[in-house]
Structure 1
Amino acid sequence: MSVDPRRGLRAVVGGLCLLLALLSSGARAQVASSGYLPLSDGTQLRYSLYLPAGEGPFPVTLVYSGYNAGNNPYDISFGGIGPMLLERGIAVIGVSLRGTGCSEGVWVPFELRWGPDGAEVVDWIARQAWSDGNVAMAGVSFPAILSLVTAVQRPPALRAILPMVPLGELYRDVAYPGGLFNLTFAGAWTLMQNVGTPFSLFETLQGDTHCGTAILGQNDPRHVTVVEAASIPYTDSDERYEKFLSPALFERIDVPVLGQVGWQDEQLGSRAWHAFERLDPARTWMLGTNGAHGTIVNSARFRDLAADFLEHFLRGGRPQDFEAPRLQIWKGFSTDFEPATIETYDRWPLQPETLTLHAQADGSLRPERPDAEATFGYLYPLPAPSTLTAVLVPNPTQLTYLLPVIPGGSVALTTPVLVDELRVYGPASADLWISAPALDVDVQVTLVEVRPDGREMFVQRGWLRASHRALDVERSTPRLPLHTHREADLQPLEPGEITPLRVELMPVAHSFRAGSALRLYIEAPLGFSGFRQLALNPLPTAVSVHVGPQTPTRLVFGRAPAPESVPLSAGAAPACGSVENQPCRYSLQAAPDGQLGFDAPRDQSSADGGVWNAWVLMLALFLQQLRRRCVQ
């Protein structure tokens, strides 16, 4: 993949221009009003408001965020959609979260009062003379998360929400993926605690001294994000992990939702897909795309859909009258911000068929169970080729994935080339049997497509600290291993003992084309994966991956049914380097001999033997945990 240096320069210049625009009087010329709205505890939140031309009152879209929405309601990520709403007679208001921007209050990361505060903000908007009482919420990332925690509160004036690339649960999605501390994310949010500071000078020059006073009181040394996050390493270490936002809380949302998830999202990942599946299907529309965090708003096709959705429900439209597919899967979403293929379904959630690929003694992945044993090894923690996102540059490219695979640093399991297209959908479980002369190791699994041109396209990843392998048996499924991550459930490895563990790959929708092969890497998470540098166990060791009838290492995944509509032609495989956040590198090994075919997709009710096998593995993990506790 070639990287155009001019593209990066344009991005930097564009970012500087955007910053200057936000800090200039010209950027505020359209603001009808700005000021501070009161919460019930006396805290004043900064807001800024854009009103459409003409006489009000107007329906209102709220961007409630920690990234200075109170000074600029477009909040950067919403800029493409905001002007479209104004043209349609819909007001746009930005409100800065307590302790951020120019708002009063103390910054506490993922504070439980953020949702109740949001409900108060919605109620305040509904009472204003310029509002007709109908409020929607929208935004990318931070404001998307806040729209969800507000909707959980069920404020009466809220009509719909448009959350783009949010998280679904705090611990597993962001703070500790697989039980590993997400150091870069926590560090970046520490810096963002002062992101409103540049506005203090600007507001003071405009005669508002309130902003500077508010900023002085925002930071509390007890709530430095990176320090606080590092001190709560288990799901039962802090109530915010369960009570801030979770799949169970999504069930309380009773307004229409247009949700969007980026499969290769380098910041928050794609696990929110699980939580969206808990929403009321009659009020839910979903869009899943490949690509990077938040770049969906660059798509003209998506902006039209978003504006149509918000307008429909802000003007009293019924769910049954909103004409859009319940589920859209965009594939080949490119650096030009439009998809190569759109697959649609008129149902949500989608129930894929569960398939299993077993590791064989020759290193291949095949549907049949192995009849011979083998052991493959790698050195830990040799740096596996990881993905690094240039965070400050739009259209991030995962550059370090291009590094060569270091010999001895990973185990690769590969299918023969596919006879037909294989539509992989949803989460997947890498069921591994490993051993090591150590008490703990961190495991990264990487799914790639080995293309006919000899290059490997990045598809998805997952992580697990081996000592965190205890499963939440009630919530886990054959394709989705959910670990408890409780301190009492920690299970150090027995040095040299063969141990089963299940590693969750984040949800993805990807078409492995005919003539390609599917490859699963087992490696150490050393190096960036997008915006994630996970704080791995640094002690070196050697890891063995065991294959055989008694140690059934395998990949359990979902296959999507045929889509009901494909409006855009799939055509040839997208060129390497053109698909956002799915870089390619040259493959150092060929696919095994032969070809791999599957039967026609079956109804989900006709589950194959892979489902039973996954339950057997979960039982083995449970018995191993029980035996350890009895010994103790």
Structure 2
Amino acid sequence: MGVELRPVRRAAVGLVCLLVASASTALGAVEPIASSGYLPLSDGTQLRYSLYLPPGEGPFPATLIYSGYNAGNNPYDISFGGIGPMLLERGIAVIGVSLRGTGCSQGVWVPFSLRWGPDGAEVVDWIARQPWSDGNVAMAGVSFPAILALATAVQRPPALRAVLPMVPLGELYRDVAYPGGIFNLTFASAWTLMQKVGTPFSLFEALQGDTRCGTAVLGQNDPRHITVVEAASIPYVDSDERYEKFLTPELIERIAVPVLGQVGWQDEQLGSRAWHAFERLDPSRTWMLGVNGAHGSIVHSARFRALAADFLEHFLRGGGPQDFDAPRLQIWKGFSTDHEPALIETYDQWPLVPQTLTLHAQPDGSLRPEPPTADAAFSYLYPLPAPSTLTLVLVPNPTQLTYLLPVLPGGSVALTTPALAEDLRMFGPASADLWLSAPALDVDVQVSLVEVRPDGREMFVQRGWLRASHRALDETRSQPRLPVHTHRQADARNLTPGEVTPLRVEIMPVAHTFAAGSSLRLYIEAPLGFSGFRQLALNPLPTQVSVHVGPQTPTRLVFGRAPAPKSTLRLTDALPGCGSVENQPCRSSPQAVPEGSLSLADTPSTGGRGGGAWTRWLLLFAPLLRRRCVQ
């Protein structure tokens, strides 16, 4: 089937940038040769594409931005405008393709359709066959196109050479749709609108003489696939095959090309759980970068853009993994609102295996390495308004700025270490192993990890959630620092009112240094209101929740401590002050920290990926866990 080419209108590019807050600016020093058209899939569906070719003689390697927003009308789509011009300067084409049912592409919109990956593989093969292409294709993008790059790479198209996924998801259910088994109402609602961000182009294209775009838009909508309605109707992992077949860590193992992956720890939209999926990749072909901050903000860093362009060029030009000169793992810390880090820690290994440490809750409300010797209980009202309430009224920003709202007395339980005697380099996921009781059949739990600084300010570090009825564990995937819940309908079990019940809450991966003199604090509260871009549809029935501490009810925090880095690059004299670190806001601490000092320098590991103290605890309480969490 023939392909129609015609100029990409600058007005179209500008409109896309306005609609989706694209980072695209001027086209850069190299003026590309712009064209657009439609490419055919094997079932006859026509996908809209937009293409920027470098000046000069081809053929050229190409970087594909395959997206559900509007890549078919703007090859930079969202947030790729800083990297795209650098590729053109290096003689690399940039092509954007709108997936089926979006933008000006034909087909019906189905959220997270299992066709997206196979379609992407066909697109890669089509690009490789074009006369302007030298047959070498890479995929890249932020968020949606990052997800599609992974889903396509799983298909192993022969022409694919590398992928650069920035802030993707690794699992649809656990990362986005139902964090902790709680419906992510805000994200599903917003996506219902965002999936149509390319629709305004139908009018513009029609005025330019192209009727195909308007015709395609008319056929994209299916009332059975309205994102928020459909997502609300499939609340368990086994409710829909897409949860386990679209993209999972097990599927990501199939990717056989080099990957430069990037995760934002405080990502307020997709979270940082994609880290687990990246850990399943072939270490010899994987480079990773983790940074604090918001969703996709890494593309504003000139340092990262240079790394991204180097990576794509290296593998598009036939370079091998052994020749790409970059650390296997980079941890950027103190990434500020100026979009550059204060500190870069590097490691020559991937994945990085931290030491597992445990802090036990004590009857006085402190967290310490030794198990408690006496019993106690702490209670909070559920769901008393938490600090993230009234986001859109008071703080119209979908990041962690809602954390700045007041902490109301009685709405949470806080467990705190004494001041740390030395820096604590936390790394990876963590597990809040809680023993709770409530005169209710179900409650939703939010745990918030914060750093209480010597000046009395609390810096946000990370969060996790769990609906108590979803507490059943997937024993094959769970680890001491990573509880993985089954989220299957047959495993759902209500609480027995008044009965003390163990549950493990996953805290998403993070890399954060708790400075000497600071304290680590764990809040246990209700997820009422917004947490970044997430408004979780919590169980609204009021109750009182008690957190139990004692030898037989070992409430605790199990987390990882990173080894010393291979190298440390300090870009500023000191880490940015409280309030200048992106997406890690600070607020006044509502209570004092325990007296004394806590040293964890010589604390032994409490178990790695399996075994140690966790195994002993599991064996001791296996009958109780089996009865309450699985049956």
Give the TM-score category using the shorter length: over 0.9
Matches of 1:99 and 1:141, distance apart in 2: 18
Cα distance change, pair 367–343 in 1 and its aligned pair in 2 (3 A): same
1:417–1:596: 8 Å Cα contact kept in structure 2? yes
Question: How many Å separate the matches in 2 of 1:234 and 1:30?
Answer: 47
The one-letter amino acid paired with 1:264 is Q
Name the aligned partner's letter for residue 79 of structure 2: S
Structure 1 residue 37 and structure 2 residue 39: aligned?
Answer: yes
| AA partner of residue 478 (structure 1) | P
Aligned-partner residue type, residue 623 of structure 2: L
Partner of 1:483: 485
Give, in whole Å, the separation in 2 of the partners of 1:569 and 1:540.
Answer: 49
Q: Distance in 1 between matches of 2:21 and 2:364?
A: 59
Match of 1:399 among 384, 398, 401: 401
Q: Aligned partner of 2:502: which letter?
A: P
Q: From 190, 212, 215, give the equivalent of 2:192.
A: 190
Aligned to 2:433: 431
Q: Equivalences for 1:236-315 in 2 at 5 Å?
A: 236-315=238-317
The equivalent residue for 1:64 is 66
For the pair 1:595 / 2:597, whether they are aligned, the reply is yes
Q: Is it true that 1:116 corresponds to 2:118 in the alignment?
A: yes
Cα pair distance change 1:526/1:20, threshold 3 Å: closer
2:552 to 550, 553, 570: 550
Contact 2:33–2:53 at 8 Å: present in 1 too?
yes
Mapped pair 1:508 → 2:535:
no
CA distance in structure 2 between the partners assigned to 1:157 and 1:33 by the alignment:
22
Residues 556, 610 of structure 1: 8 Å contact kept: no
Contact kept in structure 2, 1:500 and 1:617, CA below 8 Å: no
* Cα distance, 1:629–1:226 mapped onto 2, change above 3 Å: closer
Structure 2 counterpart of 1:90 = 92
In the other structure, the counterpart of 1:615 is 615
Which of 329, 332, 338 is matched with 1:330 structurally? Answer: 332
Q: 1:388 to 1:154 in 2, by over 3 A?
A: farther
Q: Is the 8 A contact 1:415 1:518 kept in 2?
A: yes
The CA distance in 2 between the partners of 1:306 and 1:388, in whole Å, is: 38
CA apart distance, 1:193: 2.9
- 1:614 maps to amino acid: W
* Matches of 2:259 and 2:542, distance apart in 1: 47
- Give me the whole-angstrom Cα distance separating, in 2, the residues matched to 1:217 and 1:157: 31
Query: How do 1:413-424 and structure 2 match up within 5 A?
Result: 413-424=415-426
Assess if the C-alpha contact under 8 Å between 2:493 and 2:629 holds in 1: no
Find 2:535's aligned residue among 533, 550, 558: 533
Corresponding position of 2:576: 574
TM-score (ref. length: structure 2): 0.93
**1:371 maps onto 2:373 in alignment:** yes
1:17–1:125 CA distance, 2 compared to 1 (3 A): closer
Residue 10 of structure 1 corresponds to none
Distance 1:569 1:20, change over 3 A: closer
1:197 is paired with a residue whose SS is coil
Secondary structure in structure 2 of the residue aligned to 1:566: strand
Secondary structure class of the residue paired with 1:614: helix
Alpha-carbon offset, residue 625 of structure 1: 5.8
State the match for 1:8 in structure 2.
none
Residue 6 of structure 1 is matched in structure 2 by: none
Q: Which residue of 1 aligns with 2:3?
A: none
Give 1:453's aligned residue: 455
Counterparts of 2:257 and 2:620, CA distance in 1? 42
Q: Cα 1:19–1:394, aligned 2, differ >3 Å: closer, same or farther?
A: farther
Q: Is the 8 A contact 2:386 2:526 kept in 1?
A: yes
Would the alpha carbon gap of residues 601 and 629 (structure 1) be closer, same or farther in structure 2, given more than 3 Å must change? closer
How many Å separate the matches in 1 of 2:188 and 2:244? 18
Structure 2 residue aligned with 1:442: 444
Cα distance in 2 for partners of 1:133, 1:259 equals: 23
Aligned AA (1:108): V
Amino acid aligned to 1:301:
R
Query: In structure 2, what residue type is equivalent to 1:157?
Result: A
8 A Cα contact 1:137 1:147, kept in partner: yes
The residue number in structure 1 matching 2:179 is 177
Counterparts of 1:301 and 1:76, CA distance in 2: 19
**8 Å CA contact retained: 1:388, 1:401:** no
TM (normalized to structure 1)? 0.93
Letter in 1 for 2:311: F
Mapped partners of 2:500, 2:19: distance in 1: 54
The question of whether the paired residues in 1 share the 8 Å contact of 2:32 and 2:54 is answered with no
* Deviation at residue 424 of structure 1 after TM alignment: 0.3
**2:102 aligned residue:** 100
Distance 1:309 1:239, change over 3 A: same
- Cα deviation for residue 270 of structure 1 reads 0.1
For 2:90 and 2:16, locate their aligned partners in 1 and report how far apart those are by CA, in whole Å: 30
Find the counterpart in structure 2 of residue 157 from structure 1. Answer: 159
**Deviation string for 1:562-606 (max 9, x for gaps)?**
01111125743421221000000000111101101113587x7x8
Task: Using the TM superposition, give the Cα deviation of residue 453 of structure 1 relative to its aligned residue in structure 2, in angstroms.
Answer: 1.1
Shift of 1:609: 13
Shift of 1:198: 1.0
How far 1:204 sits from its partner (Å)? Answer: 1.1
Cα distance in 2 between the residues matched to 1:389 and 1:527:
7
Partner of 1:11: none
Query: Any idea what SS the aligned residue of 1:302 has?
Result: helix
Opposite residue 490 of structure 1, the aligned amino acid is: A
The gaps in structure 1 that reach 5 residues or longer are 1-13
When structure 1 is superposed on structure 2, of 160-169 and 400-409 the one drifting more is 400-409
Residue deviations 1:263-312 (CA, integer Å, cap 9, x gap):
00000000000000000000000000000000100000000000000000
**Partner Cα separation in structure 2 for residue 88 and residue 49 of structure 1:** 16
Partner of 1:215, secondary structure, is helix
Asked if the contact 1:196/1:215 (under 8 Å) is kept, the reply is no
1:582 partner amino acid: Q
Q: Which residue is 1:201 aligned to?
A: 203
Q: How far apart in 2 are the matches of 1:611 and 1:388?
A: 43
Instruction: Report the secondary structure of 2:534's partner residue.
Output: coil
Q: Residues 165, 629 of structure 1: CA spacing in aligned structure 2 closer, same or farther, 3 A cutoff?
A: closer
Amino acid at match of 2:376: A
Q: Could you tell me how far 1:627 is from its partner in structure 2?
A: 3.4
Deviation per CA, 1:252-273, whole angstroms, max 9, x where unpaired?
A: 0000000000000000000000
Number of the residue aligned with 1:235: 237
Provide the rounded CA distance (Å) in 1 between the counterparts of 2:609 and 2:218.
61
**Distance change (3 Å), C-alpha of 1:440 and 1:579:** same
Q: Does structure 1 residue 494 correspond to structure 2 residue 496?
A: yes
2:348 corresponding residue in structure 1: 346
Q: Which residue matches 1:627?
A: 627
Q: CA offset at residue 32 of structure 1?
A: 2.4
Name structure 2 gaps, 5 residues minimum. Answer: 1-13
SS of match in other structure, 1:519: strand
> Per the alignment, do residues 17 and 557 of structure 1 end up closer, same or farther by CA in structure 2, a change over 3 Å counting?
closer
Question: 1:166 — aligned with what?
Answer: 168
The answer for the alignment partner of 2:7 in structure 1 is none
Contact 1:387 1:530 (8 Å CA) reproduced: no
Mapped partners of 1:264, 1:429: distance in 2: 17
8 Å contact from structure 2 (residues 391, 529) kept in 1: no
Q: Which amino acid aligns with 2:322?
A: Q
The answer as to whether partners of 2:376 and 2:548 remain within 8 angstroms in 1 is yes
The amino acid of 1:615's aligned partner reads T
The CA RMSD measured in Å over matched residues stands at 2.5
Write the deviation string for residues 71-122 of structure 1: whole angstroms up to 9, x where unpaired: 0000021110000000000000000000000000000000001000000000
| Aligned-partner Cα distance in 1 for 2:528–2:286 | 38
Match of 2:373, SS state, is coil
